[in-house]
Chain A
Amino acid sequence: MFKRLLEFVGFEPGRLSARWISGSEGAKFAATAQKITDHTRALGPNTKMRDEN
């Protein structure tokens, strides 16, 4: 729900990811972490809601 809200106000899709992974799904954890890292890197630095102080 929050993901959709963020996309609604202009965050790029995939900027926020949420995944439910059990402690025993080690391979899935590693693969997901890699995928999200690659995706975020491709998106580039976040420009919204940056700390302006």
Chain B
Amino acid sequence: MEKLFISRDSLKKLLDRLARNLNLVAPVKDPEGIIMFGPVADAGQVLLEYQNSTLPPKSFFFPQTERLFKFSYGQEGMALEDMCGSDKRVLFGVHPCDLKSILSLDPVFAGAYKDPYYINKRENSAIIGLACSNPSPGCFCATFGFGPDDGEGSDIMLTPSGKGFDADVLTDKGQEIVASYKDLFEKAGDSPRIAGETRLTVKKLDLTGIKELLDGNFELEYWNQVFEKCLGCGICTYVCPTCHCFDIYDSSKGGCDGERYRSWDSCMFTHFTMMAGGHNPRPSKKERVRNRFMHKLKYHIDRYGLAGCVGCGRCVKSCPVNIDIRRIISDLGEVSRNGQL
């Protein structure tokens, strides 16, 4: 791993050149003050520090709506036109929680089953991570075994230090970027890394006993206390960087052609598990709310050995009725110790 340094001014120049030569995706503040990841034409808008974006950058690998292929039926029979393919781009400013979430999505889309749409985007993307200099009070990434300065998952990891950023080059892709813009990078200096201290301030919740409790108890009285206030909207799943459920639809204007697309689906929606014939194994909000937390705290670990939650706090901030995974984790801890709350 090569350790380099990039000054603030040089970083701005780097972003400027990346925006012109490739596609640059970075966090910006829109006119209403909302921080989102988006394609950037003017590198001056890019935020070099920010606490949390409203939405995670997962939509650049797994878009809300993705067209899969076009179909048309003509005289030669059925023709399909593949719509897989994306341009090369660089994602800048991805915090460790979001880096971890992409690593968490990899086994889903590029594990046993290879999803070409995801893989294509993943291969065409380079990620410049950014350590958090000022974690939000709602963050709790430390709970899941990493911290606000952990660069795993990025190609180059930037950590604020001195008059710029320490740049750890972690992969070959990162090496390529450094090689293409080597006039902007310097040797690493001695300034202390700011994010090292923040590691101590981020909350680390206690997960002891929770997985075991959930493994052995599908029916827990506890869920009865949680589900009633849920509105059944899709906010938590849509702002979550690790949620990945989708539904596939065909759309056609009644003629001989159309296209197949997929779009995000939420386990909180009533029809999520509705089957042909009308049976719904998750008929009420209770089953659906329980499913969400089981997935985050158990199922994802069972399937892939990786935590389903990265502690970014977006669901906590955005849930209209304050269903808080941190509260659920601490409640489940108590249930596992005392049998009940």
Q: Does chain A touch chain B in the assembled complex, meaning CB atoms less than 8 Å apart?
A: yes
In the complex formed, the residue of B with least CB distance to A51 is B253
List of B residues within 8 angstroms of A51 by Cβ: 253
List of B residues within 8 angstroms of A53 by Cβ: 67, 251, 258-259, 261
In the complex formed, the residue of A with least CB distance to B258 is A53
Fill in one digit per residue for B245-282: 1 if any A CB lies within 8 Å of its CB, else 0.
00000010100001101000000000000000000000
In the complex, chain B residues 157-186 whose Cβ is within 8 Å of any chain A Cβ: none
- In the assembled complex, the CB of A14 is this many whole angstroms from the nearest CB of chain B, namely 26
In the complex formed, the residue of A with least CB distance to B261 is A53
List of A residues within 8 angstroms of B253 by Cβ: 51
How big is the B interface, by class?
under 10
Q: Tell me whether chain B's interface is mostly helix, strand or loop, or mixed.
A: strand
Q: Tell me whether chain A's interface is mostly helix, strand or loop, or mixed.
A: loop
CA distance A53 to B251 in the complex (A): 8
- In the assembled complex, the CB of B254 is this many whole angstroms from the nearest CB of chain A, namely 12
CA distance A51 to B258 in the complex (A): 12
Fill in one digit per residue for A19-37: 1 if any B CB lies within 8 Å of its CB, else 0.
0000000000000000000
In the complex formed, the residue of A with least CB distance to B70 is A53
CA distance A53 to B67 in the complex (A): 9
CA distance A53 to B261 in the complex (A): 10
CA distance A51 to B251 in the complex (A): 11
List of A residues within 8 angstroms of B261 by Cβ: 53
Fill in one digit per residue for B53-87: 1 if any A CB lies within 8 Å of its CB, else 0.
00000000000000100000000000000000000
- In the assembled complex, the CB of A4 is this many whole angstroms from the nearest CB of chain B, namely 25
- In the assembled complex, the CB of A13 is this many whole angstroms from the nearest CB of chain B, namely 26
Fill in one digit per residue for A29-53: 1 if any B CB lies within 8 Å of its CB, else 0.
0000000000000000000000101
* Top 6 A-B pairs, shortest CB-CB distance: A53-B251, A53-B259, A53-B67, A53-B258, A53-B261, A51-B253
Can you pick out 6 interface pairs between chain A and chain B where the beta carbons lie within 8 Å of each other?
A51-B253, A53-B67, A53-B251, A53-B258, A53-B259, A53-B261
